[in-house]
């Protein structure tokens, strides 16, 4: 079956994550951007005028002149099964996403609204593509022709890619992580400059709980009746710091069998995810790069792997929060759904 020209809609297209999704989609080999949708007060305007453009350069020509549609499946002209990429705030997503799923859309959502639902897969393609099996329960239970798939937030994605690589090789049991998160992770207007300039804010509402819950879920196995089990303890401490882009994190890890730093570095370098994932257009060659410098923003970077006197190993990681984290995560999920036959 052809994978070109799959129609794609962006919900919440005028925000920071939405803008990045639009940029990624106009250049994508499989998807074709057919609509940009946003809140009532932006609907009807030209896309380029409705945006406060936050990315380098200008809005892409192939999207700039589109009319912004309302967040309503009936308002969107699209005559084939389509992907709806959602970059909506959680409270809006809660109402909007089910209506698109009901109308037959494959909703690939970056919002946290449904991440915790037992029948909604939370997926990083390299980590747990098998969780898509939950979609059968979701459709059956909710009576939708479409569905919702979610991706985790940016910090979680970075942490879990490293954790999964090591879990496969050495059976991970305990994760203790401290994050140093950039202000762009909070969206716009986000963090007031008076709070963060020359300062550390050692708290981000709900973030520690999200990282802990989602890390455990992503590393878990789907059991009977869709329950997800993971035998790993996770502790997260988060900080907002005066940096624009890039979340870094200091990891300390405990294993069943304690590996040497060299063995861990090897496992991280070899980590690929399974065969389906490797062929996706947005999948990086290596999801984890073990190095100090890089120009591959879809990978995470890990370095300074060394023994830990309290758990077993320590390392430092960096994830580009807006590329791999949010827009990129939703896109990679959509590609996985295409590759696995759920879309297109």
Active site (catalytic) residues: 154, 247
Stretch that binds a copy of itself, among 24-32, 108-116, 200-208, 263-271 (CB under 8 A): 200-208
Binding a copy of itself (rule: CB under 8 A), the pick from 14, 138, 150, 248 is 248
CA pseudo-torsion sign 328, 334, 336, 339: negative
Enclosing H/E stretch for 234: strand 233-240
Rounded to the nearest whole angstrom, what is the least distance from the CB of residue 2 to a copy of itself in the complex?
A: 33
Rounded to the nearest whole angstrom, what is the least distance from the CB of residue 259 to a copy of itself in the complex?
A: 16
CA pseudo-torsion sign 72, 78, 84, 87: negative
Rounded to the nearest whole angstrom, what is the least distance from the CB of residue 248 to a copy of itself in the complex?
A: 5
Q: Is 199 in the site for a copy of itself (CB under 8 A)?
A: yes
If you ran DSSP here, which 8-state letter would residue 321 be given?
Answer: I
210 vs 181: CA distance, rounded Å: 14
Size of the site for a copy of itself (CB under 8 A): 53
Residue placing its CB nearer to a copy of itself in the complex, 4 or 294:
294
Q: Is 188 in the site for a copy of itself (CB under 8 A)?
A: yes
Q: Is-contact 287 300, C-beta < 8 A?
A: yes
> DSSP labels for 83-109?
EEEE---HHHHHHHHHHHHHTT-EEEE
If you ran DSSP here, which 8-state letter would residue 266 be given?
Answer: H
327 vs 55: CA distance, rounded Å: 13
Rounded to the nearest whole angstrom, what is the least distance from the CB of residue 195 to a copy of itself in the complex?
A: 8
Q: Which of 310, 333, 311, 329 is nearest to 320 (CA)?
A: 329
Binding a copy of itself (rule: CB under 8 A), the pick from 29, 57, 143, 279 is 57
Residue placing its CB nearer to a copy of itself in the complex, 251 or 337:
251
CA pseudo-torsion sign 174, 179, 184, 188: positive
244 vs 223: CA distance, rounded Å: 40
Q: Is 206 in the site for a copy of itself (CB under 8 A)?
A: no
Which 276-315 positions form the footprint of a copy of itself (CB under 8 A)?
293-295, 303-304, 308-311, 314
275 vs 297: CA distance, rounded Å: 21
Q: Is 221 in the site for a copy of itself (CB under 8 A)?
A: no
Q: Is 143 in the site for a copy of itself (CB under 8 A)?
A: no
Binding a copy of itself (rule: CB under 8 A), the pick from 38, 71, 191, 339 is 191
Q: Is 269 in the site for a copy of itself (CB under 8 A)?
A: no
Rounded to the nearest whole angstrom, what is the least distance from the CB of residue 173 to a copy of itself in the complex?
A: 9
Token digits of residue 211: 């990282």
Rounded to the nearest whole angstrom, what is the least distance from the CB of residue 20 to a copy of itself in the complex?
A: 14
Residue placing its CB nearer to a copy of itself in the complex, 137 or 174:
174
Tell the burial category of 10 from Cβ atoms under 10 Å away from its Cβ (0-12, 13-18, 19+). buried
Q: Is-contact 71 88, C-beta < 8 A?
A: yes
Q: Is 155 in the site for a copy of itself (CB under 8 A)?
A: no
Positions touching a copy of itself (CB under 8 A) are 53-54, 56-58, 174-176, 178, 180, 183-184, 188-200, 202-203, 212, 233-235, 237, 239, 241-244, 246, 248, 250, 252, 254, 293-295, 303-304, 308-311, 314, 316
């Amino acid at each position: 079956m052809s994978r070109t020209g799959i129609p794609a809609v962006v919900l919440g297209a005028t925000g920071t994550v939405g803008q990045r999704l639009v940029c990624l989609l106009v250049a994508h080999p499989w998807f074709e951007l057919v609509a940009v949708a946003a809140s009532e007060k932006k609907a009807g305007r030209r896309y380029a005028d409705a945006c406060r453009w936050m990315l380098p350069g200008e809005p892409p020509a192939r999207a700039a002149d589109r009319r912004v549609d309302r967040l309503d499946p009936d308002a969107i002209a699209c005559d084939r099964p389509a992907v709806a990429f959602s970059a909506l705030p959680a409270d809006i997503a809660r109402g909007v996403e089910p209506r698109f799923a009901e109308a037959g859309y494959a909703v690939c959502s970056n919002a946290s609204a449904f991440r915790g639902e037992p029948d909604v897969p939370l997926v990083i393609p390299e980590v747990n593509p098998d969780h898509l099996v939950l979609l059968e329960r979701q459709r059956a239970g909710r009576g939708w022709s479409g569905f919702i798939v979610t991706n985790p937030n940016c910090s979680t994605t970075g942490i879990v890619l490293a954790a999964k690589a090591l879990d496969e090789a050495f059976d991970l049991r305990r994760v203790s992580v401290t994050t140093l998160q950039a202000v762009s992770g909070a969206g716009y207007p986000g963090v007031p400059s008076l709070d963060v300039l020359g300062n550390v804010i050692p708290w981000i509402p709900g973030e520690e709980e999200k990282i802990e819950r989602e890390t455990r879920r992503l590393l878990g196995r789907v059991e009977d009746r869709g329950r997800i089990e993971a035998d790993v303890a996770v502790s997260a401490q988060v900080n907002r710091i005066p940096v624009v882009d890039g979340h870094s994190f200091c990891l300390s890890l405990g294993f069943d069998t304690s590996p040497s730093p060299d063995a861990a570095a090897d496992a991280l370098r070899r980590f690929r995810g399974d065969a389906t994932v490797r062929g996706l257009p947005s999948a990086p060659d290596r999801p984890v790069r073990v190095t100090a410098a890089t120009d591959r923003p879809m990978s995470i970077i890990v370095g300074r792997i060394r023994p830990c006197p309290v758990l077993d190993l320590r390392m430092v990681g960096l994830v580009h929060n807006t590329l791999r984290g949010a827009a990129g995560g939703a896109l990679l999920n959509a590609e996985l759904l295409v590759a696995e036959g759920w879309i297109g």
